[in-house]
């Protein structure tokens, strides 16, 4: 056995060992976080959690926060989905390999990694402050403003996913359709988007999972509300905001509600992740 071969074997073994160690460390912390959330959250679950609104003390629940989270999240994903899908389609089919398209992809990647608190401050500046001025100083935090902030976070995820999924569609589909005289718009809508729809839906679900746990943007926009609110133009409570608020409270009852809220958010995100994987796996099986 040559010295060079032995050195390569040792280098490979060391690299593999370090990679496995890093993976195990990451998985260990993830398992620890999930275990603590499950242990503390399940212990705090109670029927009143789903039937009562937030109130200081042991009699409070999280009903208004759950309803508020659903409204704000679906406002955000409802605004981001059509814009993101259309923008991603334009990038993949009409601006692919152009300087403008590459510039927009670069800016979209920057938005992907932008801190969420920046989005919250931006929406606070363009929506909350101007409306406060119009109402002569009456602060106008709202669930709609929170939804807009979350839409700005979800938008680059949907744009990127749509762009990538459409570019994965085989070019032979495009060539076959164009050779039969199919217009470009009909090719895009009826063939390409249908072929990539599973990946696009997965991107939307992942974007929804991404925004479901955001807290910072909602502190500057939706603000919070101790009462039930269905009007998106009113202040609105949300689970991430109430978790942040109650985690900083000295009362044990508030800590229990915070853990219960964290458990609900974690389960919601987990279900969305499982749904996205199920859609992708079913699409792969159907293609095979």
Percentage above 70 pLDDT, the chain: 94
Q: Which residue has the higher pLDDT, 132 or 288?
A: 132
- Answer yes or no: is 92 within a domain: yes
- Answer yes or no: is 268 within a domain: yes
The confidence score (pLDDT) of residue 3 equals: 81
Which three-class secondary structure string do you get for the chain? Answer: CCHHHHHHHHHHHHHHHHHHHHHHHHHHHHHHHHHHHHHHHHHHCCHHHHCCCCCCCCCCCCHHHHHHHHHHHHHHHHHHHHHHHHHHHHHHHCCCCCHHHHHHHHHHHHHHCCCHHHHHHHHHHHHHHHHHHHCCCCCCCCHHHHHHHHHHHHHHHHHHHHHHHHHCCCHHHHHHHHHCCCCHHHHHHHHHHHHCHHHHHHHHHHHHHHHHCCCHHHHCCCCCCCCCCCCCCCCCCCHHHHHHHHHCCCCHHHHHHHHHHHHHHHHHHHHHHHHHHHHHHHHHHHHC
Residues 192-198: what's their mean pLDDT? Answer: 89
Residues 35-62: what's their mean pLDDT? Answer: 83
- Answer yes or no: is 15 within a domain: no
The enclosing domain of 118 has a CATH number of 1.10.3720.10
- Answer yes or no: is 2 within a domain: no
Q: How confident is the model at residue 139 (pLDDT cuts 50, 70, 90)?
A: low
Q: How far apart are CA 184 and CA 178, in angstroms?
A: 8
Number of domains in the chain: 1
- Answer yes or no: is 249 within a domain: yes
Q: How confident is the model at residue 286 (pLDDT cuts 50, 70, 90)?
A: low
| CB-based burial, 217-244: b 16+ in 10 Å, e otherwise | bbbbbbbbbeeebeebebbbbbbbbbbb
**Mean pLDDT across the chain, nearest whole number?**
89
Burial class (CB in 10 A: 0-12, 13-18, 19+), 180: exposed
Q: For residue 122, give its domain range.
A: 65-287
The per-residue pLDDT for range 152-193, each reduced to its tens digit, is: 999 999 999 999 999 999 888 888 988 888 888 888 888 899
Percentage above 90 pLDDT, the chain: 52
Q: How far apart are CA 260 and CA 38, in angstroms?
A: 9
The per-residue pLDDT for range 56-91, each reduced to its tens digit, is: 656 778 999 999 999 999 999 999 999 999 999 999
The confidence score (pLDDT) of residue 159 equals: 96
Q: How far apart are CA 257 and CA 60, in angstroms?
A: 8
Q: How many CA atoms are closer than 13 Å to the CA of 1, on its beta-carbon side?
A: 6
The confidence score (pLDDT) of residue 273 equals: 86
Q: Select the highest-mean-pLDDT range: 14-18, 180-184, 197-201, 227-231.
A: 14-18
- Answer yes or no: is 57 within a domain: no
The confidence score (pLDDT) of residue 54 equals: 81
List, in order, residues 6 or more apart from 233 with CB less than 8 Å away: 142, 143, 144
- Answer yes or no: is 53 within a domain: no
- Answer yes or no: is 260 within a domain: yes
Q: How confident is the model at residue 253 (pLDDT cuts 50, 70, 90)?
A: confident
């Amino acid at each position: 056995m040559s010295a060079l071969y032995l050195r390569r074997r040792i280098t490979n073994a060391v690299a593999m060992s370090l990679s496995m160690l890093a993976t195990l460390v990451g998985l260990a912390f993830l398992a620890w976080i999930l275990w603590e959330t499950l242990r503390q959250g399940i212990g705090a679950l109670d029927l009143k959690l789903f039937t009562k609104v937030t109130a200081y003390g042991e009699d409070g629940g999280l009903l208004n926060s759950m309803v508020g989270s659903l409204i704000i999240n679906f406002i955000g994903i409802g605004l981001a989905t059509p814009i993101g899908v259309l923008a991603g389609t334009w990038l993949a089919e009409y601006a692919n390999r152009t300087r403008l398209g590459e510039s927009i992809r670069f800016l979209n990647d920057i938005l992907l990694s932008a801190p969420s608190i920046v989005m919250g401050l931006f929406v606070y500046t363009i929506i909350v402050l101007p409306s406060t001025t119009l109402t002569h100083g009456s602060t106008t935090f709202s669930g709609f403003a929170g939804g807009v902030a979350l839409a700005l976070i979800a938008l680059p995820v949907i744009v990127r996913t749509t762009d990538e999924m459409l570019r994965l569609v085989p070019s032979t589909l495009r060539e076959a359709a164009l050779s039969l005289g199919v217009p470009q718009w009909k090719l895009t809508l009826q063939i390409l988007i249908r072929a990539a729809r599973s990946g696009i839906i997965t991107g939307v679900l992942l974007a929804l999972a991404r925004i479901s746990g955001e807290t910072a943007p909602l502190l500057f926009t939706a603000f919070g509300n101790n009462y039930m609110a269905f009007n998106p133009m009113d202040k609105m409570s949300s689970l991430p905001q109430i978790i942040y608020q109650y985690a900083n409270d000295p009362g044990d009852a508030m800590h229990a509600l915070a853990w219960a809220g964290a458990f609900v958010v974690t389960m919601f995100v987990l279900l969305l992740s499982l749904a996205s994987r199920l859609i992708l796996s079913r699409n792969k099986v159907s293609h095979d």
